[in-house]
């Protein structure tokens, strides 16, 4: 387990540290928290103690410690020191080597990598002395995460917001994540498609896009250049990923074909409509009669068309089935000439469409592997590691 020391300083963004602790623990970090005196005005020790599962420290002179060397012990314990939020005041102290409280003393004593996520009013961030301090810390090897631009607690707008907890956790994970997909170009499709019936109605499915977005995020962290062709979803764009937003199955086909040249790997995680209305009414269809019928025609098969290209990328399909999973998945693998297929049950109590968790049964021409039920982030990591392994085996064969 990775051991992280989280320093929290006095700013409104301290409330985000609670979520950060939760995410870090989910990613298998043991978290110990150190708060400045100002931070104690913004968050209670009790909350952070409950979330981290460890006592929270704030005193440099702690007579309770057996050898009164708490700051050295904590510094030695940590694999990394993260300060989030890092106030302008704290950044200035660290840059000048001042050590008048537990956190700044810990920073001086620490020999592990140090990460700061600054958070402050945009004028404070742009002030020349703050920028000089940041540059000095960077030169000394401190990693600076963010800040981001946006509306601020003070009502102003600009650069200075702390990066979102998820982005901070992703940044840290990237430091520990193997990069088996370094410099590989990957195109991923995600989400549902919408097939219009008339100007206000469409046919769609229950896909949330979570699996495809998790794959895009993790592929990026593993060093890949990622294009994400996505149907309509409610999900934030993964950091550093090139998003191509589409609506219908036909739009998705066009976008994939436009971007596929030069891609090393294609992962088709989107739930693309198999059928689309034969025509789209130009005006809203009226409610007339007790029954009506829809006329549908087959859509183009995106993954099969990619697998049929002369210079085809390593092509991974998904199969979502409610019965005969293995049979349909292996049939689809062979029929569509895929390199790999990730099959999952849908319509079950747990996993599948719109769920945060899932399990996969993965098949390739001469092998298979089960990836048991877990959250989609972990599952995406495991699937990408497997894809990288089979891809590299195929390309060195
Ligand atoms: C309501 C409030 C919000 C504040 N927010 C920030 C902030 O976001 N960033 C910052 O650098 N300072 C902020 N400050 C100022 C710091 O709390 C102050 O500089 C303090 O000395 C920081 O101490 P520390 O770095 O030891 O935690 C804020 C102050 C108040 C009263």
Model confidence band, residue 64 (pLDDT cutoffs 50, 70, 90): low
Domain covering 185-396, topology:
Rossmann fold (3.40.50)
Atom 22 of ligand 1 has which residue's CA nearest to it?
10
Contact 92, 129 (CB under 8 A): yes
Closest ligand 1 atom to 103 CA: 26
- Residue 117 CA, ligand 1 centroid: distance in Å: 14
> Is-same-fold flag (2-176; 185-396)?
yes
Q: Rounded mean pLDDT of 192-206?
A: 97
Q: Where are the domains of the chain?
A: 2-176, 185-396
- Residue 121 CA, ligand 1 centroid: distance in Å: 10
Atom 26 of ligand 1 has which residue's CA nearest to it?
36
Q: For tokens 């089960």, what's the residue? A: 370
Atom 5 of ligand 1 has which residue's CA nearest to it?
11
Residue to mutate, 10, 33, 96, ligand 1, most ligand atoms under 8 Å from C-beta:
10
Ligand 1 residue neighbourhood (C-beta within 6 Å): 9-13, 36, 38-39, 87-90, 119-120, 124
pLDDT for the residue numbered 67: 53
- Residue 42 CA, ligand 1 centroid: distance in Å: 9
Q: Does domain 2-176 have CATH number 3.30.9.10?
A: no
Model confidence band, residue 95 (pLDDT cutoffs 50, 70, 90): very high
Query: H helices within the chain, ranges in order?
Result: 16-26, 39-42, 45-52, 70-77, 88-96, 102-109, 122-126, 128-139, 165-176, 210-221, 249-259, 302-307, 325-335, 376-396
pLDDT for the residue numbered 11: 95
- pTM of the full predicted structure? 0.66
Separation between Cα atoms, residue 314 and residue 339, nearest integer Å = 6
pLDDT for the residue numbered 272: 97
Q: Rounded mean pLDDT of 115-141?
A: 94
- Residue 163 CA, ligand 1 centroid: distance in Å: 17
1-11 pLDDT, tens digit per residue, is 789 999 999 99
pLDDT for the residue numbered 273: 97
Q: How big is the CA angle at 72 (ends 67 and 78), to the nearest 5 degrees?
A: 130
Atom 9 of ligand 1 has which residue's CA nearest to it?
120
Catalogue the active-site residues.
154
Contact 371, 359 (CB under 8 A): yes
pLDDT tops 70 at residue 249: yes
Which residue from 177, 81, 169, 94 is spatially nearest to 132, judged by alpha carbons? Answer: 94
Atom 11 of ligand 1 has which residue's CA nearest to it?
87
Lowest mean pLDDT among 27-31, 174-178, 385-389: 174-178
Residue to mutate, 38, 39, 84, 127, ligand 1, most ligand atoms under 8 Å from C-beta:
38
- Residue 39 CA, ligand 1 centroid: distance in Å: 8
pLDDT for the residue numbered 140: 84
């Amino acid at each position: 387990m990775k051991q992280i020391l989280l320093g929290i300083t006095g700013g409104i963004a301290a409330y985000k540290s609670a979520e950060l602790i939760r995410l870090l623990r989910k990613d298998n970090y043991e978290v110990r928290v150190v708060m400045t005196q100002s931070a104690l005005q913004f968050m209670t020790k009790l909350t952070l103690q409950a979330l981290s599962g460890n006592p929270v420290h704030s005193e440099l002179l702690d007579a309770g410690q057996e050898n009164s060397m708490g700051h050295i012990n904590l510094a030695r314990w940590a694999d990394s020191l993260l300060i989030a939020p890092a106030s302008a005041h704290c950044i200035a102290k660290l840059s000048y080597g001042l050590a008048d409280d537990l956190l700044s003393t810990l920073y001086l004593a620490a020999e592990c990598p140090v990460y700061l996520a600054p958070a402050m009013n945009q004028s404070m961030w742009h002030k020349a002395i703050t920028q000089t301090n940041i540059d000095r810390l960077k030169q000394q090897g401190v990693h600076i995460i963010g800040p981001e631009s946006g509306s601020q607690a003070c009502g102003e707008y600009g650069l200075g917001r702390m990066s979102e907890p998820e982005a901070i956790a992703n940044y840290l994970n990237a430091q520990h994540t193997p990069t088996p997909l370094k410099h590989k170009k990957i195109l991923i499709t995600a989400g549902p498609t919408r097939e219009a019936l008339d100007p206000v109605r469409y046919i769609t499915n229950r896909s949330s896009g979570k699996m495809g977005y998790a794959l895009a995020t993790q592929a990026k962290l593993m060093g890949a250049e990622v294009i994400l062709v996505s149907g309509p979803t409610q999900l934030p764009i993964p950091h550093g990923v090139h998003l191509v937003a589409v609506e219908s199955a036909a739009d998705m086909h066009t976008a994939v074909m436009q971007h596929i040249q030069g891609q090393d790997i294609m992962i088709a995680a989107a739930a693309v409509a198999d059928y689309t209305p034969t025509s789209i009414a130009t005006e809203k269809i009226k409610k007339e009669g007790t029954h009506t019928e829809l006329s549908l025609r087959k859509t183009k098969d995106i993954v099969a068309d990619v697998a049929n290209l002369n210079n085809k990328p390593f092509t991974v399909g998904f199969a979502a089935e409610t019965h005969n999973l293995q049979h349909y998945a292996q049939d689809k693998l062979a029929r569509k000439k895929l390199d790999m297929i990730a099959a999952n049950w849908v319509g079950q109590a747990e996993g599948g469409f719109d769920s945060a968790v899932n399990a996969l049964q993965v098949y390739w021409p001469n092998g298979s592997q089960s990836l048991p039920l877990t959250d989609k982030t972990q599952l995406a990591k495991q699937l990408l590691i497997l894809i990288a392994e089979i891809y590299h085996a195929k390309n060195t064969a």
